[in-house]
Amino acid sequence: MINNEIVKLLNNQLNLEFYSANLYLQMSAWCNYKTYEGFSVLLKKHSDEEIEHMKKLFDYICKSGNLAIINEIKAPPNNFKSIIDLFTQTYEHEKFITKNINNIIHSSITIQDYTTFSFLQWYIVEQHEEENLFKTILDKINLIDKYSNGLLILDNNIKKDYLKQ
Ligand code: OFO
């Protein structure tokens, strides 16, 4: 059994992963609507990954004899000022998720729950990759001259990369 306070934090994280999945799916829809096909594919795949993150937490909570609790998930934003605005929000969101994971890790170390500490190592590595992915895309978009066709080229390249996966 895991300490009740840790179960609460893990359940909160489980629901945040659900929110992340919905956020990226909604962003995928917006990109598709604005004809950014590559970004749309990337974000849809990313939404699937968030569901996997949620399920890992669900399994961990259930297999340790505790109750996984799914709460009401708030609706994500469905409109964005620009593609830069959208990817700024993805990057900020991942930084927020990293902070939450770090808080759970901090709590698990404090109460000497090394099983949860060890379980969460996977999320640390994953968060590092995700922050890096969205930061790189954001940096590239910022580098592109808005009057050139660079954004279209980047979108096409991302489409090719992500359709291969
Ligand atoms: Fe995008 O992060 Fe889940 O954990």
**pLDDT by residue (tens digit) across 90-139?**
999 999 999 999 999 999 999 999 999 999 999 999 999 999 999 999 98
Looking at per-residue pLDDT, the higher value among 128 and 154 belongs to: 128
Enumerate long-range contacts of 99-103, CB under 8 Å, 24 or more apart.
100/12, 100/13, 100/16, 101/13, 101/127, 103/9
pTM of structure: 0.91
Ligand 1 is surrounded, with C-beta below 6 A, by: 17, 20, 50, 53, 94, 97, 123, 126, 130
Q: How confident is the model over 67-87, as a mean pLDDT?
A: 97
CB 57 within 8 A of CB 17: yes
Atom of ligand 1 nearest to the CA of 130: 1
CATH hierarchy code of domain 4-164: 1.20.1260.10
Residue of higher predicted confidence among 86 and 142: 86
